[in-house]
């Protein structure tokens, strides 16, 4: 265990997020998502045994910079609206100070986009359409702001 790191974070999740570069996407998938057949076999897939995807998403937002160069660095399946997952993600993003819209994508278009992700986090959630894509941005350099290096 480490201080201030959410207990839901596994070493593999931390490694995956750290290794990703800007513009790459992370998929947080519910337990029903076809994770094993989506994308190339080389895409890292890790299991994080949580059922509350919104809490995991909120925890990830604390550490994961979102891409500020795109209109929607977050995307969900259209079915996320009817299940309530969209509203929960929107509320979590708002609490984190993220104002960018969350794109709504048709199911099969979502699968196509998910095929190119840098990593898949598989959860035990059963929320219909609870899957969310997160496009990584850059961490801004603070060197020189206060004369510190």
Give catalytic residue positions.
22, 67, 111
In this structure, which long-range contacts are made by residues 51-56, counting pairs with CB atoms below 8 Å and at least 24 apart in sequence? Answer: 51/123, 51/124, 51/125, 51/126, 52/125, 53/28, 53/85, 53/123, 53/125, 53/127, 53/130, 53/132, 54/85, 54/88, 54/89, 54/92, 55/8, 56/8, 56/28, 56/121, 56/123
């Amino acid at each position: 265990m480490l201080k201030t790191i959410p207990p839901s974070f596994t070493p593999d999740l931390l490694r995956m997020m750290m290794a990703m570069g800007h513009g790459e996407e992370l998929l947080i998938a519910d337990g029903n998502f076809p994770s094993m057949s989506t994308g190339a076999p080389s895409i890292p897939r890790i299991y994080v045994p949580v059922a509350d995807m919104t809490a995991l998403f909120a925890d990830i937002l604390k550490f994961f910079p979102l891409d500020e160069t795109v209109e929607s660095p977050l995307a969900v399946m259209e079915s996320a609206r009817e299940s309530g997952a969209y509203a929960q993600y929107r509320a979590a993003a708002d609490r984190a100070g993220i104002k960018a819209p969350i794109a709504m994508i048709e199911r099969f278009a979502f699968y196509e986009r998910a095929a190119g992700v840098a990593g898949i986090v598989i959860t035990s959630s059963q929320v219909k359409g609870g899957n969310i894509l997160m496009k990584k941005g850059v961490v801004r350099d603070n060197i020189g702001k206060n004369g510190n290096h």
